[in-house]
Amino acid sequence: MALTGLYADNSIATAKAVSELQFFLIDAAAKQGNVVFQTGLHIDIPLTELTPTTAVAGWKRGLEKIMQTVENDLADHFSVMSSTQSEE
């Protein structure tokens, strides 16, 4: 996992907390360490006002949403992989 963006933006009418992460899942058993799953996710959380406290709360909420998405994406990915392997 790589954190590629974490900032608060008040350059528009509505302030926002921005989080962006990249995820890589590597097959360590493979000789070349093949990437079996990769995704990048970006989320903007609107803030009522921009303060250090609201920015941190927005990042926390954004991270929770990103992790939920990754969990669902991984479940879907492995579901497809297991159904493909069972057909072989």
- Residue 69 DSSP SS3: helix
Query: Amino acid letter at 55?
Result: A
For residue 25, the tally of other CB atoms under 10 A from its CB is 16
Integer Rg of the chain from CA = 17
Query: Amino acid letter at 35?
Result: V
> CA quadruple 45, 48, 50, 54: dihedral positive or negative?
negative
User: Which domain range does residue 65 map to?
Assistant: 2-87
Q: What is the predicted pLDDT for the residue at 78?
A: 87
What's the mean pLDDT in 52-81?
95
What would the pLDDT profile of 3-34 be if each residue is shown by its tens digit? 999 999 998 889 999 999 999 999 888 778 78
How many separate domains does the chain show?
1
